[in-house]
Each structure stands twice: as structure tokens, then as C-alpha cells.
Structure 1
Amino acid sequence: MASPVIQGDFRESDPFIALMDDRLTKQTDQPAGGPHPHAGFETVSLLLEGEMGDDAHRMEGGDLQLMTAGSGIIHTETIEGKLSMRLLQLWLNLPKKNRWVSPRVQDLPLAKVPTLTQDGAEIKVYSGSLAGLTSPIQNYTPLLIADIRLQPGATTVQHIPASYTAFVYVLEGSIQVGDEAGEVHQDQVGWLNRDSTEPVSELRLAGGKTGGRLVLYAGEPQGDPIVSYGPFIGDTQDDIRRLYQEYRQGKMNHIATVPASQRILW
């Protein structure tokens, strides 16, 4: 079951196009999934549990993959065997100047994710910088992703760029957010305020009665309108028509065929 976490008016969520929470309990050995195209944006996949992918890009629980579809690519999300899986997949807008860059894929396994455990808080930084940690992931669109666990009553205060669009998605328990301690519960989203007059904003998080776990997403708005249709993002409707034509004519390659320099395993 794929549930939309965010979707709607892109002018408000820029640079985030969509976020899906895909939960699957697979009870047969029949493989699921298959090849499909993307172009004009990036997919950011955080696998919370389970396994997925092919031999070239297999993911396990706690791994992240950032795929820059750029000028157009075909990739395969394969799920084999009986398993339970939970995947957060973000569609991230590319800067207009980078929309048609050469496709690239970056894999960040859990063992390489920068992690800090302190005072009842565990922080894993998958992209960007937070809590003195910096992810190796390379970004066209400045992007912060952090998986944060808080014990009951534990507090962490962090700083993020004030101009970024930012939200928290609570995976477990509940989290108190901000000085007014607004509470965000499991499966809920809490949007953070943007401020163009200050360089950084203070983010105060506290674990609820049973503690909590959240994923923080924060990204720099690009300010350019987009056209979204099916698996493609473009600047105009002509872009969408062109991409469908290229896909039908077999002009998009599979991600497994990109040069080694564009396939990065951290």
C-alpha cells in the first residue's frame, strides 16, 4: 500500500514534488515490480525495512538511494521473496539549469550513514549537514534528510537554513516540535515555518510519552514552475511530450548502463 505523505500545491512544497510511504507485506515468492522510466527530477529512496532492488543496486533496511533521472533513465525496483517492506520515496525537483543532466545514482548503505547518539537522541544524517554530521551524498538541490529517534522526554535542538522548505514525518510514537511544543503523532506530518529574513532557524524536538522517531526533510526552494505528468517532470508541456516520445522510441537507457563515474557507492 503506497500512501501519499505530501502532495498538492508544488508552490508551497517546492522543492518537494511528492513523498510516498510504501508499505508492503509480500506473502508469495513471485517477484514484484519492474522497469519504468523517469526524467527531469530525482528520486530519493529511504528503505526503512525489508530488501529491494537488483544485484547492481540492492537495498536493505536503513539504506538510501538517490537517483538523478535528469535527461531520462529507466530503472527497476524489484521485490523478491516473502517479506515485509517499508519504503519512503521522495520526488525532488532539480534546479532548472540541471533538469536535463546526465543520469546518476548514489547508494548510501546504513553502515556509512553519519550517526550521533547523545542524551537520549540518535541522529542519522542521510543528506546535507545536521548536528555536526555531514553526509557524503552529492546534491544538485540542497537537501537535508535526517532520521531522528528520541527517548521519552529527550530533547534535541538543531539549526537548519531558515529559507528551506522543511517538514517532519513521524514514523513511531510522537514528537513535540518547537517552543510551543506542538505534538505530531505517528503517520502525521508537521510543516516548519520558512523565514527569508534570517540565515538559520532553531528546531527544537522532544520525544513524547513513549518516545518517537521522525524523518526530517528540508530543501532549498527553486522558485521555478514545473509541469508534472506520469513519471516525468518538465518545464513545459512540450518537455513532457518529448520525453514520452523518447521513451517509446527506446532512447532512454537503463540505469545499470550508466558510466561507472555516475554510479557511486559511498
Structure 2
Amino acid sequence: MNNKRKLTRTYTPPAQPGFLGAGHMARPVVSGGFAQTDPFIFLMDDWLDKKDDQPVGGPHPHAGFETVSLVLEGEIGGADHKLRAGDFEIMTAGSGIVHTETIEQKTRMRLLQLWLALPKANRWATPRLQNLPLAHVPTKSQDGTTIRLYSGTWANLASPVQNHTPLLVADITVDPNKATVLNLPANYNTFLYVIEGSAQVGADEQLLSKDQVGWLDLQENSGQSELDLIAGDAGIRLVLYAGKPTGDPIVAHGPFIADTAEDIQRLYQDYRRGHMQHIATVDESQLLYL
């Protein structure tokens, strides 16, 4: 029998004013304590109810990690590159890249954006952008459970996204009062973020409700494990993130992740000197539209 997983930590991240001004609220779903959350550095749930046509956002650099973006509502980006509800994108910042995230008009938008650690061997990988639109997301529905798999190979589905860090990302909906069992790699650090509804989760059937985060126990064996889930009266929609820990420590400062403080200084120098290319100008081989 597979090992049964259970929740070991639950919390409700508080909504706080975001950096985009009026109408922007952000929830820090994952933050702090990388030794505990590896390979997840942090994840923000950004809500924007923008009531004017003044552009917000702009170009900024990243290096040493990947951004993993899932749009839950609305759209983000300019005319040349736009993400809409249900779309998914991984940007490998790697050796250093500049990108632009803009919202140019009145809109309601909700975005989950994760910072994902790269293994030390891939820290300075060649930058690339992978875009997976909703229409191409592998999906299946069975016995009251619907899974959209954005990253990884799981539940007899395979995402076309390429990963440096082994990563599962899935949008999961379970119908009211239905039960399901999710099979997961036992040694993947895993958390659930509830978008709607509630469920009893894990071997001890702990309640997890809307806006709550639940982390599973992490096991050392490389086999499979089982997570039991029983949806409540309103059903449940959650996003599951599961990743294999890198085991590599990180140094974080501003928009950069690195191995040492000296690396951070070098990255700032590279950016100030204009040595980081904008993602929109990289070679076509670095842009993967899946």
C-alpha cells in the first residue's frame, strides 16, 4: 500500500496592499524559510481591480531562478504578449533576463506567480520562456474530479513544459461530497492552495478551506504516496504545487537569486551596464509556445 500523506502546516495568508497601487491586493502564499519550502522560494496571489487606463508595471530584471505564472482571472501583458485566464507560463531567468509585465487598461485580474529555485547546476541556465495556453493544457475528468496539469507528468497526463526542477502544477476541482485519491511522489515538497470551497485532506482528514494553504509531510523515500481528499458540500477547487527539493542553499536579494553575495553584486552590475537581454529580443529557440 502507498504511504498516506497528511497536512503538517496550514495557514491563511493575509491580503495586503500590492505595489501596483489602488485596487491591487496581494497574498504571500509561500514566503520565508527556504530550507523548509525548497524548491519554492515564494508565491504571491495577486488580485487587481484596476479602474483606470493608466499603465502599471514595467520592465525589470531577474536571474538565478524561474517564474511560474498561472492566470486565474482576467489577463496580463501587452499587445505583443498576453496571458489570459487559464494560461500558464514559465520564464527561466537563469543567467539573467529583463522582462515586462504590464496592465494597460481597466481590468480585473488574478495571478498566481511562483518563484521556483533552480538546482545549483542549472542556476545560470540560458534564459527561456515557455507559454502554455489553456486550450493546450492536458486535462481529464473522472469520477467527479477534474485535473488540469500545467507542469510535469502525473495522473496519466503529461505537460509539454520542460523542467529544470522536477515540478507538478495542477488545477484540481472535485465535485461536492466526492472523494478522490491523489498519487504523489513521496519525496516532493507539496502544498495545496484552496481557490474555492473546502475539503477534508490527508490521512487525518483535516479541514482545508477557501484561501487556506496546506503543506504535506515530506518523506525521504523515492516511491509514491497517496493523498486522500473529500470535498465539502460546495466542492473544492485548489491548485497543487509539488516539487523535488534541490537541497541547494540560496542567497536572495531583490529580483535575484544566487549562490553567494558576490553573485548578487555581479548581477546588479550586469543589469546596470545593460548586459541583460530583454526576453522579447532573445533567439527564437528560447521562446517555446506549447
d(CA) in 2 for partners of 1:200, 1:54: 42
Give the TM-score taking structure 1 as reference length: 0.98
Q: Report the residue type matching 2:67 in the other structure.
A: T
- For the pair 1:147 / 2:171, whether they are aligned, the reply is yes
CA displacement, residues 192-220 of structure 1 (integer Å, 9 cap, x when unaligned) = 11111351111122211211110000000
Aligned to 1:241: 265
Q: Tell me the percent identity.
A: 61
Structure 2: which amino acid aligns with 1:58?
Answer: K
- What residue identity is the alignment partner of 2:230? A
Residue of 99, 123, 147 corresponding to 1:123: 147
Distance 1:104 1:217 in 2: 21
Give 2:78's aligned residue.
54
For 2:278, the equivalent position in structure 1 comes to: 254
- Measure, in 2, the Cα distance between the counterparts of 1:191 and 1:199: 19
Tell whether 2:125 aligns with 1:101.
yes
C-alpha RMSD of matched pairs (Å): 0.9
Match of residue 219 from structure 1? 243
User: CA shift at 1:129, angstroms?
Assistant: 1.9
Q: Report the Cα distance in structure 1 between the residues aligned to 2:78 and 2:94, rounded to whole angstroms.
A: 21
My pick for the range that moved more, 6-15 or 52-61, is 52-61
Residue in 2 aligned with 1:137?
161
* Partner in structure 1 of residue 214 of structure 2: 190
SS of 1:163's partner is coil
Distance, in Å, in 1 between the alignment partners of 2:106 and 2:46 is: 16
Q: Secondary structure at the match of 2:218?
A: coil
Residues 58 and 100 of structure 2 are in contact (CA less than 8 Å); yes or no, is this contact kept in structure 1? yes
What residue number does 2:97 align with? 73
Asked whether 1:165 is paired with 2:183, we answer no
1:87 alignment counterpart: 111
Q: Shift of residue 87 of structure 1?
A: 0.2
Alpha-carbon shift at residue 162 of structure 1 (Å): 0.5
Contact 1:121 1:148 in 2 (8 A): yes
| Amino acid across the alignment from 1:61 | A
Matched, 1:33 2:57: yes
CA displacement at 1:156 relative to structure 2: 1.7
Query: Equivalents in 1 of 2:171, 2:235: separation in Å?
Result: 14
The whole-number CA distance in structure 2 between the counterparts of 1:111 and 1:4 is 29
Question: TM-score of the superposition, structure 2-length normalised?
Answer: 0.90
What is the CA distance between 1:54 and its match in structure 2? 2.4
Amino acid at match of 1:40: G
Q: Distance in 2 between matches of 1:188 and 1:203?
A: 17
Please give the alpha-carbon distance, in whole angstroms, between the structure 2 residues aligned to 1:56 and 1:126: 23
CA contact (8 A) 1:175 1:213 kept: no
SS in structure 2 at match of 1:53: strand
Shift of 1:89: 0.3
Distance in 1, Cα, partners of 2:230 & 2:104: 38
Instruction: Tell me the SS of whatever aligns to 1:246.
Output: helix
Matching of residue 179 in structure 1 with residue 203 in structure 2: yes
Q: Following the alignment from structure 1 to structure 2, what is the Cα–Cα distance between the partners of residues 218 and 55?
A: 33
Return the letter of the residue paired with 2:276: M
Instruction: Please list every run of 5 or more consecutive structure 2 residues that lacks an aligned counterpart in the other structure.
Output: 1-24
For 1:105, the aligned partner's letter is L
Q: Please tell me whether the aligned partners of residues 115 and 122 of structure 1 are also in contact (alpha carbons under 8 angstroms).
A: yes
Aligned residues: 266
1-side partners of 2:113 and 2:94: how far apart? Answer: 17
Residue 151 (structure 1) shift: 1.1
| Deviation, structure 1 residue 226 | 0.4
